[in-house]
Every structure is written in C-alpha cells, then in structure tokens.
C-alpha cells in the first residue's frame, strides 16, 4: 500500500477510535461549576475575554442541557460575517439548537470591527488566530470538553476565517474539521484569474477535513470568483479542488446531482468511494442560492445538520 494511503488509513482509524475514547480536558472534574453564571440548557451568555496579548474581546456561549462536568463535550466555534455580529451568527447557524446540536458547547466569537483576519477590510493589528488559540486554552481549563472534538464553521467573512484557521498549522492541530459557508476566500494578489489563481495555504502535513457550502447565485461572494476589495476571490470549485489536492486526495471527485429537489450538486473527494479517505473534502453547490446560510426556507435543506454529521466523522 502506498505511504499516502497508509497515512490516510492511520488518521481515519484514529478518528474512529477517538469516538470510543474521549480526550478529556483539564476542566473535567466532578462538581466543577460553570463560569459566568452559565447553566446547562440555559440562555446564551456574553462573556468578556482578554487575549494573551492583552486585547479585550468577547464571545457568546451556549451550554447544552446534556452538559455535566465529568462528561467531555464537543466544542463548536461559529464565526459571523462582515458587518454582522455574534448574535446574528447564533441565529443564522443554529448551533445552539438542540435539534441540530444536542451535546456540543457552541461558541460565537465577536470579531473586532465585525470582521476577521484574512479579509482586506480587517484590522491588520488584530491577531484573530491567537484569539482562537487563547479561547481553546481557556475552554480546556474551564469546561469539560473533548479536546479531540473541537470544530470550526463560519459564514461569509467568518467562512473565510474558518479557512484561514484550517490553513494555519499552529491552530489546525487543535481543530478536527472545518465548515465554511458562503466563504469569502480573499487572496492578496494584484492579478486575478479566479479559475487558476494559486491559493496560499500552510496547513502542514495533516489531512484536514473540510466541507464547503456555496450558492451559485451569490452576489456578494460570487461562485465564479472576481476581483474585489483590491484582492482576488477564487472560483469556489477551484478553491475546493485545491483543498483536495493539498490533502493528497487528487482533483477528481464523486458527484451527486439533483439532490434536494434538484437544487444541490454535491462533490466528494477523492473520487473512489472505497478509499478510506472518501468524503474528507466535500462541497455543496446550491442552484439559485444567494449569499446566505442554507436552510429549508432558503435552499430546501438545512446545512447545519449536514455539518454536524460531517464533524461527527472526524476527531484529532
């Protein structure tokens, strides 16, 4: 068996074993009280937070009704888009909804200036990657979480930042899988050929699971890409294929057409469904969908339960 196949098999086998043996954080102790007056199944709470560099930040957190201080819970980050806030992202993504996420702690960080690192309009003096790493360290100490089941998702600029995290080898070793939605994947380039532009990414050696959702009628972050804000947005299918290639899964995929009343084309990489890594990279292209999170109202299906199922397949 080729070395790449052995590596993939090893990673996926460890992921399966991880479902049986949770990686408990330091915060898993009997009768440990939740901080900031939080209660299982209670209201979402806004929490003030100080980054390791002294920057004042905040986030929203929702604790599921199933949470106990001795049972490691999943941790899910959900990043808002540009010009909106964490509260909007909670309403949009529905990771606090027990119908979709009965057992995971949902965290909605707030971006400085309602934006995230990696976009041309973001504050260059703000280090959001460090913010995420600092939050993960805090959650490991203060909550009972499964450190092998930390996940990241986001919408628009938040989706682009989700991809930024996935491409950073110092943080993607802490997060098991990624799910950008309508992602704004800005590339700092003076020239822009959306179907061929080289996408910079220093993800390290790890095979990084990614599921991406995008509408082909998105007027804000067009599916076909474009020059915008003096930078380049790649064609989304080119972005997805590039990710598959970086993961060593090749450029060919298995495509399922006409899903959800004919609106969705789903691509799974690699193409061979017998490959242990099949489906490690996935893409949902939705016909007629604009710049929005797919729901039954907007797209005929909900992206959130699909994301949760995808997350459930991967652990660190």
pLDDT score, position 37? 79
- Is the pLDDT at 118 greater than 70? The verdict is yes
pLDDT score, position 153? 99
CATH number of the structural domain spanning residue 256: 3.40.50.1820
Residue 316 belongs to some domain of the structure: no
Query: Across residues 156-161, what is the average pLDDT?
Result: 99
pLDDT score, position 35? 87
pLDDT score, position 130? 98
Of 28-42, 105-119, 157-171, the poorest mean pLDDT is in 28-42
- β-pair type (145-155, 56-62): unpaired
- Would you call 262 exposed, middle or buried from its count of C-beta atoms within 10 A (0-12, 13-18, 19+)? exposed
- Is the pLDDT at 138 greater than 80? The verdict is yes
**3-class secondary-structure state, position 162:** helix
pLDDT score, position 36? 76
pLDDT score, position 154? 99
On average, the pLDDT of the chain sits at: 94
Q: How does pLDDT run across 215-253, given as a tens digit for each residue?
A: 999 999 999 999 999 999 999 999 999 999 999 999 999
pLDDT-based confidence at residue 21 (cuts at 50, 70, 90): low
Query: Across residues 59-66, what is the average pLDDT?
Result: 98
Cα angle 202-203-204, degrees, rounded to a multiple of 5: 95
pLDDT-based confidence at residue 6 (cuts at 50, 70, 90): very low
Partner residues linked to 284 by β-bridges = 213, 266
Residue 179 belongs to some domain of the structure: yes
Q: Quick one: residue 63, left, alpha or beta (phi over 0 = left, psi -120 to 50 = alpha)? A: beta
pLDDT score, position 7? 40
pLDDT score, position 100? 98
- Is the pLDDT at 9 greater than 80? The verdict is no
Helix (H) or strand (E) holding 308: helix 303-311
Residue 104 burial (CB count, 10 A):
27
User: For residue 113, which phi and psi values (nearest 5 degrees)?
Assistant: 65, 25
Taking the C-alpha atoms of residue 135 and residue 128, their distance in angstroms, rounded to an integer, is 10
Taking the C-alpha atoms of residue 312 and residue 304, their distance in angstroms, rounded to an integer, is 12
Total domains in the chain come to 1
Cα angle 120-165-253, degrees, rounded to a multiple of 5: 100
- Is the pLDDT at 14 greater than 90? The verdict is no
Structural domain including 153 reads: 3-311
Residue 170 belongs to some domain of the structure: yes
């Amino acid at each position: 068996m080729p070395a790449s196949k052995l590596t993939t098999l090893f990673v996926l086998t460890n992921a399966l074993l991880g479902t049986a043996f949770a990686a408990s954080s330091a915060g898993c102790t009997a009768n440990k009280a939740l901080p900031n007056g939080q209660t299982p199944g209670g209201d979402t709470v806004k929490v003030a937070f100080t980054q390791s560099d002294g920057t004042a930040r905040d986030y929203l957190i929702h604790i599921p009704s199933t949470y106990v201080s001795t049972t490691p819970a999943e941790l899910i980050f959900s990043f808002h888009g540009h010009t909106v806030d964490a509260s909007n992202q909670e309403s949009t993504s529905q990771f606090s909804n027990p119908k979709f996420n009965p057992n995971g702690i949902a965290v909605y960080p707030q971006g400085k200036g309602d934006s995230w690192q990696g976009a041309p309009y973001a504050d260059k003096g703000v280090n959001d990657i460090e913010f995420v790493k600092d939050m993960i360290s805090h959650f490991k100490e203060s909550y009972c979480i499964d450190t092998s089941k930390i996940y990241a998702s986001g919408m628009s600029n938040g989706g682009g930042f989700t991809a930024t995290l996935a491409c950073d080898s110092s943080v993607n070793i802490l997060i098991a899988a990624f799910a950008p939605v309508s992602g704004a994947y800005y590339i700092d380039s003076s020239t822009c050929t959306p179907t061929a532009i080289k996408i910079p990414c220093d993800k390290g050696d790890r095979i990084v699971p990614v599921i991406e959702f995008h509408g082909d009628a998105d007027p804000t972050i067009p599916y076909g890409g474009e020059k915008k804000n003096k930078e380049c947005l790649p064609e989304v299918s080119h972005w997805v294929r590039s990710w598959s290639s970086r993961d060593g899964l090749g450029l060919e995929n298995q495509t399922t057409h006409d899903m959800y009343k004919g609106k969705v084309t789903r691509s799974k990489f690699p193409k061979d469904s017998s490959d242990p890594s099949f489906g490690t990279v996935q893409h949902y292209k939705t016909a007629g969908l604009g710049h929005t999170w797919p729901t039954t109202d907007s797209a005929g299906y909900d992206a959130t339960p699909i994301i949760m199922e995808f997350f459930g397949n991967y652990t660190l």
